[in-house]
Amino acid sequence: MSDQRSDVQTEVGRKRVRAYLGGQLVVDTIRPLLVWEIPHYPAYYLPEQDVHAQLEPTGDSTDSERLGVAERYDVRVGDHLAAGAAGRYPDPRVEALRDHVRLDWAAMDAWFEEDEEVFVHPRDPYKRIDALRSTRHVVVELDGHVLADTRAPVILYETGLPPRHYLPATDVRRELLVRSGRVTHCPYKGSTVYYHVRLGDREEPDLAWSYPSPLAESLPIAGLICFPAERTEVRVGGVLQ
């Protein structure tokens, strides 16, 4: 639903949500409030009565035109302190936020939805991932150089994003790939590793990626390699993507 006084979408979630700091429980709730502060994914606001940590006022505040003025708090649990890591709206512009606390995601050591750890940000309940095996012919080129050629792709369909074609490593010219040090995380797919593509003296940084150990819903892409159609020529059945 959206608050009548604003355009901010909120929704009471149905998952059990927990956060930990220094191995100790900070919050444990079965009534998390999902708040779409930005359009792309929600944030969790937690009922005050379900917060186990001490919230110590810092005297600071932040002002959001859409949400109101948030008082800032240090989060203390045992010997562990996350400075300024909590916000509370005593007079929110979005009424649903009243008596709720927002914890800075990165300030906590770990977040769990039910008993599965979640990374980066809460999962959007309206996002869906389908990883579908296919026999469509996929060829990836860069300036006339073939980087991959397969008839066994897995096509990943993710809400709001273009399809991505994940290719068996045996159908990719692995001699052109150099593992980079970049690693990113996705709450829906897991941790990504990246590869540079080296063509003679030329190197295209982070031009391919792979999920060695993806989350359960994305297991079909485990170990497969993807090239972005934005930076390469990806043809599917002869059609440029």
Q: Which domains does the chain have, with CATH numbers?
A: 10-118 (2.170.150.40), 129-240 (2.170.150.40)
In this prediction, residue 112 carries a pLDDT of: 96
Over 70: is that where the pLDDT of 204 sits? Answer: yes
Q: Which residue has tokens 């485990």?
A: 222
In this structure, are strands 54-64 and 43-47 parallel, antiparallel, or unpaired? unpaired
**Cβ atoms 64, 43 nearer than 8 A:** no
Over 60: is that where the pLDDT of 5 sits? Answer: no
In this prediction, residue 1 carries a pLDDT of: 52
Scanning 95-230, the segments in alpha helix (DSSP H) are: none
Model confidence over 106-126: pLDDT tens digits?
999 999 999 999 999 999 999
| Alpha carbons 34 and 18: distance in angstroms, whole number | 14
Model confidence over 53-97: pLDDT tens digits?
999 999 999 999 899 999 999 999 999 999 999 999 999 999 999
- pLDDT above 90 coverage of the chain, percent: 92
Average pLDDT over residues 167-191: 95
Model confidence over 16-62: pLDDT tens digits?
999 999 999 999 999 999 999 988 899 999 999 999 999 999 999 99
User: How distant is the alpha carbon of residue 64 from its chain centre?
Assistant: 23
**Cβ atoms 130, 103 nearer than 8 A:** no
